[in-house]
Amino acid sequence: MITRPMTAAVLVATAAAASAAAGPLQVSSSILVEARSAAPDGTTRVTLVKPTKVTPGDKVIFVLAYRNSGAQPLANVVLDNPLPRQIAYRSANPGSPAPDVSVDGKTYGSLATLRVRSPDGSTRAASPNDVTSVRWRLASPLAAGSQGQFAFQAVLK
Amino acid sequence: MHAKGVIRTLLAGTAAIVSAGTAMAQTAPGPAGTAAGTTVTNTAQASYLVNGVQQSATSNAATFVVDRKVNLTVATNQPANTQVSVGQAGAVLTFKVTNNTNGIQDFLLSTSQTPIQGLFTGDNFDVTNIKVFVDSNGNGTYDSGVDTATYINELGADQSAIVFIVADVPNVQAVSLAGVTLIAQVAAGGDAAAQGAALVPSLLANDDNAVDVVFADNDSDGLGPDIASNGYGRAALGYEITTRNVNLTVTKSSVVISDPVSGLLLPKAIPGAVVQYCLVVNNATLLVPASNINLTDIIPANTTYQPGSITIGGLGVGGACVLNGFPANDDGSAIPLTPFTGSYNAGTKKVTATIPTLLGGTSVAASFRVTIN
């Protein structure tokens, strides 16, 4: 157990170095909530705003925006978002591709393919509450100057 | 644990892996949810190839502070109303207050005796000297002098406290039911030595770095004064009078009915004479009925009970029976068309007359006859 924080510290150092080198891929994380307002045509308009009051049970939207600020195309782009432990995954946000999810941080796939091992050794189908990490892979290289974003919905435990 | 906690805090702003909490299994929050004041931090990482070289990137850390979701449950903690007698002091009602807020809170306690519509039909009096105390030793029973706290101090999320209402029943005969409502209000926790101030919801736009107060409690009493999202919870119980004192008197008289010599005309109390004893029971307390009156009398020495002579329900005036009532069977069986029963026990020579209810301000007579030996 003692070694874990050490490993984390090393990772931080690596990340910091990469950041300092100002790599071409810029990743921006934001946490938003839905705000509903009545539109002039009578429908309800849902916009994403900065989190105002967030209490347990509320829905929050995690948005990952990425951009290739370099001059070279970037291949094999993988965006990985481990979930804060206070957050329970729900689904991809409408309009965003569905992420691969993981319940152990190692194996990724669609939720239906994942199983959770219980303390007694048996396994059961994974539910959204079991998700600990989400991941997206870009199928094609990210051209210079292009950008995009992914988003998923979750609730505050 | 402490050292790891410090490291995690330091790294939260930069390292995605650490903020994920994968390093150790975390205990899940209770039903109240993630504690208010918790900073939720999200960081993503990316990896990619540029010109065949593996690179990585880390996002900014997006954060928000979990706000305080104020909720409570106030419930009765006894199966029925408390049964009391007129004039009883220190009668107790028991309630349970549960903190459903995602944080440690104080709870202010108060009472109301305003009748609640439809809940306590027949509520016709108020108890006096009413006090509220918190169960200090967790035994669920009010201990006078031990349970002295008047507010709930530092109650954790999803934790409960037992609360007692202690009051005196006035010494008034006409009372029958008093409904009392316990009112709990969520207050600020954090000071173990003093009562916190009542919470008020944050009205201003959220400050992401501060803990806002959001009221999420329900309307706990339907048509009553409580409304949803006001930081209050209510529950009501009643004091029910089941024992009253009545001013009950019994007057006994006797009259010689007949003797073997003179017959019915001016009979004398000579051997063989028939004597009728009259018991008149009077309930002098107006409006309060007396229940389950048992009149018993052992026949005098040197007399013999005259079988089948018990009558109950007659009219007695001034201690004398002016009208005999319904004849009773000596075996204690019910007298047809009346609530009375009468019996004679030859072994103990005891006459018993049972009158289930005697209304306030009325009297009823019972009589029996003996023969002088």
Pick the CATH number of B69-202+211-243 from 2.60.40.10, 3.40.50.720, 2.10.77.10, 2.30.29.30: 2.60.40.10
Q: What is the mean pLDDT of residues A139-154?
A: 93
Q: Do domains B69-202+211-243 and B248-372 have the same CATH topology?
A: yes
In angstroms, the separation between the Cα of residue A94 and the nearest Cα of chain B is 20
Residue spans of the domains in chain A: they are 25-156
Largest CA distance in chain A: 60
pLDDT at B114 over 60: yes
pLDDT for the residue B21: 34
- Cα A38 to Cα B270: distance, rounded to the nearest angstrom: 106
CB contact under 8 A, A86 and B29: yes
pLDDT at B366 over 70: yes
At B357 the three-state DSSP class reads strand
Q: Which residue of A has its CA nearest to B49?
A: A75
Range name among B198-212, B291-305, B340-354 with the lowest pLDDT average:
B198-212
What stretch of H or E contains B297?
Answer: strand B290-298
Nearest CB partner across the interface for A25, out of B7, B32, B57: B57
At A17 the three-state DSSP class reads helix
Contact map slice: B 198-257 vs A, CB within 8 A:
202, 205-206, 208, 212, 214, 216
pLDDT for the residue B205: 63
Q: What digits encode the pLDDT tens for the residues B166-209? A: 999 998 877 789 999 999 999 999 999 999 999 988 876 656 66
Q: Number of A:B CB contacts under 8 A?
A: 182
pLDDT for the residue B360: 84
Residue spans of the domains in chain B: they are 2-66, 69-202+211-243, 248-372
Q: What digits encode the pLDDT tens for the residues A1-39? A: 444 444 433 344 334 334 434 679 999 999 999 888 888
Class of domain A25-156: mainly beta
pTM confidence score: 0.70
Say if residues B68 and B32 touch (Cβ distance below 8 Å).
no
pLDDT for the residue B90: 94
Name, in order, each residue with C-beta under 8 angstroms of B260's C-beta and a sequence gap of 6 or more.
Answer: B270, B271, B272, B273
- Cα B40 to Cα A90: distance, rounded to the nearest angstrom: 17
pLDDT for the residue B109: 97
Q: Best residue in B10, B39, B42, B200 to probe A by mutation, most A CBs within 10 Å?
A: B42
In angstroms, the separation between the Cα of residue B6 and the nearest Cα of chain A is 10
Q: Which residue of A has its CA nearest to B39?
A: A86
pLDDT for the residue B321: 76
Say how many C-beta atoms besides its own lie within 10 A of residue B307's C-beta: 11
pLDDT at B14 over 70: no
pLDDT at B32 over 70: yes
Q: What digits encode the pLDDT tens for the residues B70-84? A: 999 999 999 999 999
Nearest CB partner across the interface for B59, out of A14, A27, A56: A27
Say if residues A130 and A42 touch (Cβ distance below 8 Å).
no
Half-sphere exposure of A90 (CA within 13 A, CB side): 16
Residue numbers in A near B67 (CB within 8 A): 53-55
- Cα B64 to Cα A30: distance, rounded to the nearest angstrom: 10
Rounded (5°) CA angle B334-B337-B338? 60
Nearest CB partner across the interface for A156, out of B23, B33, B41: B33
Range name among A61-65, A85-89, B3-7 with the lowest pLDDT average:
B3-7
Under the banding of pLDDT at 50, 70 and 90, the label for residue B24 is very low
Q: What is the ipTM of this complex?
A: 0.81
CB contact under 8 A, A15 and B45: yes
Q: Which residue of A has its CA nearest to B34?
A: A157
Q: Best residue in A2, A12, A32, A69 to probe B by mutation, most B CBs within 10 Å?
A: A12
Residue numbers in B near A72 (CB within 8 A): 50-51
Range name among A98-107, B97-106, B157-166 with the lowest pLDDT average:
A98-107
Rounded (5°) CA angle A57-A63-A69? 165
Residue numbers in B near A57 (CB within 8 A): 33, 69
Q: What digits encode the pLDDT tens for the residues A84-136? A: 999 999 999 999 999 999 998 889 999 889 988 888 888 889 999 999 999 99
CB-count burial class (<10 Å; 0-12, 13-18, 19+) for A76: middle
pLDDT for the residue B145: 93
pLDDT for the residue B255: 87
Cα B201 off chain centre by:
33
Q: What digits encode the pLDDT tens for the residues B283-299? A: 888 777 888 888 899 99
Residue numbers in A near B19 (CB within 8 A): 82, 84
CB contact under 8 A, A29 and B44: yes
Name, in order, each residue with C-beta under 8 angstroms of A81's C-beta and a sequence gap of 6 or more.
Answer: A29, A62, A64, A99, A133, A134, A135, A152, B16, B42, B43, B44, B45
H-type helices in chain B, by residue range? 2-11, 16-19
- Cα B306 to Cα B308: distance, rounded to the nearest angstrom: 6
- Cα A27 to Cα A147: distance, rounded to the nearest angstrom: 10
CB contact under 8 A, A25 and B26: no
Q: What is the mean pLDDT of residues B20-46?
A: 75
pLDDT for the residue A11: 40
Contact map slice: B 34-53 vs A, CB within 8 A:
34, 36, 38, 40-51
Q: Average model confidence (pLDDT) for chain B? A: 85
Q: What is the CATH number of domain B248-372?
A: 2.60.40.740
Contact map slice: B 83-122 vs A, CB within 8 A:
102
- Residue B55, chain A, CB below 8 Å: the answer is yes
pLDDT at A67 over 60: yes
CB contact under 8 A, B48 and A75: yes
Residue B98: what residue type?
T
Residue numbers in A near B20 (CB within 8 A): 82-85, 105, 132-133
What stretch of H or E contains B130?
Answer: strand B128-134
Nearest CB partner across the interface for A18, out of B11, B56, B214: B56
Under the banding of pLDDT at 50, 70 and 90, the label for residue B318 is low
pLDDT for the residue B314: 81
Q: What is the mean pLDDT of residues B227-246?
A: 88
- Cα B237 to Cα B116: distance, rounded to the nearest angstrom: 11
CB contact under 8 A, B49 and A75: yes
CB contact under 8 A, A77 and B48: yes
pLDDT for the residue B319: 63
CB contact under 8 A, B16 and A80: yes
